[in-house]
Amino acid sequence: MNDAIHMETTPPLEGLRIVELSSYVASPLCGLTLAQLGADVIRVEPIGGAADRRRWPLTDDGTSLYWAGLNQGKQALEVDLNTHRGRQLVTDLIVDSGADGGIVVTNSERWPQLGFEQLRRLRDDLIHVRLAGMDDGSPAVDYTVQARSGFPAITGPEGSETAVNHPLPAWDLLAGLYLTTGLLAAVARRRRSGEGAQVRVALENVALAASGYLGFLAQAQVAPRPPRRRDGNFVYGTFGHDFVTRDEQRVMIVTLTRRQWLDLVAVTGMGGRFASLEARTGARFDDEGDRYRYRHQLADEFSAWFARHDANDIAQRLGPTHVLWSFYATFADLAADDARLMREHPLFEPVDQVGVGCILAPGSPLEIDRSRRGPAPAPAIGQDTRRILTERLALSPSELHFLSAAGVVGTVESGPGT
């Protein structure tokens, strides 16, 4: 088993109360990040479970592994928000939740009663955190934002004219962390001044901001021709590329610094060849710009060397150097040999997940004082409904049964955790 670093001190957000009205990736990631830091996060979902409880990847019996990952350590309240009483229950939960409550995370404007203006009338220090699609409020998801971002035009193999979206929902993930940052900034201000806040993050703005921060939009304005093109697995602006070994493994090599470049040249014995190329072209390969300009010639030279050596030999040669390198792996490779890599990695621990069984799951990648919060199971549908309504809203058993019979909340008579 790995040597997991557990958070033994009081979690930094212990006592903070969050009500999450969300779905899919960005806003659930915000709730997950807060829960990993010790916040009390209640995810509200409709009767029978939210639509993203059935999102792929699934187990053979239809349990969503996606849900299990993004909802670790949360509590689940099953309630019909299409009913006035259901909305009132959630309103009460938000408004009457103590000094460290009154915080909502959402990606929906479907229920005006749960919007910022309405809730602020009931609690003037409300913190309302919302994910939007486009800046103008129109809907969008990561993959439609990707299409407008410019990145699909530079993703994929050289020479291709087909737009390529990335399978990683990068804007969702970044937006989730921006939501978290905005929420924590609002909490800090509230503790200082007593003021609430309306926090909003649009997926479109996350993508445009990232494009600007990285210089891509400035490049298009200042030097629009020639346009940035697809570069395959080359690393833009420096030397980096993938190579195939003699035993048909594939390895990614990157040299950002002069020292890394010189180490790679020394390991491969290419110094003489590159000195001759420098003499012919006037290039200086200790400059990463020139390494990028002549990337194809350099890659051709290195390809022959990598093709003559096995993966183990290459690993031994590169191990003591400053070169950045890694062999490619599939998700199946990462889970191979009874998930040995995950069993030995301190980020992972066993979790008994409802509907899945025992799996190795990641905890928080964030370390505080050399400790981190480990993983926790995601809740079953409505798992905490009874406890939340009785402990937080002081509903009686008869009131619970009436609400359940009326379909306002999920079944509360039986079941684990209810």
Which of 235, 282, 280 minimizes the C-alpha distance to 261?
235
Cβ atoms of residues 302 and 296 within 8 Å = no
Q: How many domains does the chain have?
A: 2
Residues 384 and 262 in one domain: no
Give the contacts of 78 (CB within 8 A, at least 6 positions apart): 45, 46, 47, 48, 49, 381, 382, 385, 409, 410
Residue 12 lies in a domain: no
Last residue of a domain, which of 303, 332, 361? 332
What is the predicted pLDDT for the residue at 2?
Answer: 55
What is the predicted pLDDT for the residue at 416?
Answer: 38
Residues 117 and 62 in one domain: yes
Residue 341 lies in a domain: no
Residue 8 lies in a domain: no
Residue 417 lies in a domain: no
Residues 315 and 358 in one domain: no
Count CB-CB contacts under 10 A for residue 158.
Answer: 11
What is the predicted pLDDT for the residue at 213?
Answer: 96
Give the contacts of 206 (CB within 8 A, at least 6 positions apart): 145, 171, 174, 175, 178
Q: Name the stretches of the chain with pLDDT < 70.
A: 1-8, 224-225, 413-418
Distance of CA 229 to the CA centre of its chain: 27
Residue 343 lies in a domain: no
Beta strand 357-362 with 348-353 is: antiparallel
Range(s) of the domain holding residue 127: 17-211+349-405
Residues 83 and 47 in one domain: yes
At 225, the amino acid letter reads R
What is the predicted pLDDT for the residue at 167?
Answer: 94
What is the predicted pLDDT for the residue at 1?
Answer: 47
Residue 216 lies in a domain: no
Distance CA 95, CA 93 (A): 6
Residues 35 and 150 in one domain: yes
Q: What is the CA radius of gyration of the chain?
A: 26
Residues 54 and 153 in one domain: yes
Residues 248 and 191 in one domain: no
What is the predicted pLDDT for the residue at 68?
Answer: 95
CATH number of the domain that 137 lies in? 3.40.50.10540
Distance CA 416, CA 382 (A): 10
What is the predicted pLDDT for the residue at 228?
Answer: 82
Residues 51 and 190 in one domain: yes
What is the predicted pLDDT for the residue at 32?
Answer: 98
Residues 124 and 41 in one domain: yes
Residues 324 and 357 in one domain: no
Cβ burial, residue 257 (10 Å; 0-12/13-18/19+): middle
3-state secondary structure of 142: helix
Average per-residue pLDDT for the chain: 94
Residue 268 lies in a domain: yes
Query: For residue range 139-178, what is the model confidence (pLDDT) as tens digits?
Result: 999 999 999 999 999 999 998 989 999 999 999 999 999 9
Cβ burial, residue 247 (10 Å; 0-12/13-18/19+): exposed
Active site residues: 172
Distance CA 348, CA 350 (A): 7
Last residue of a domain, which of 332, 364, 380? 332
3-state secondary structure of 30: helix
Residue 225 lies in a domain: no
Residues 358 and 319 in one domain: no
CA distances, 76 to each of 3, 265, 317 (Å): 30, 56, 51
Last residue of a domain, which of 332, 364, 382? 332
Residues 205 and 249 in one domain: no
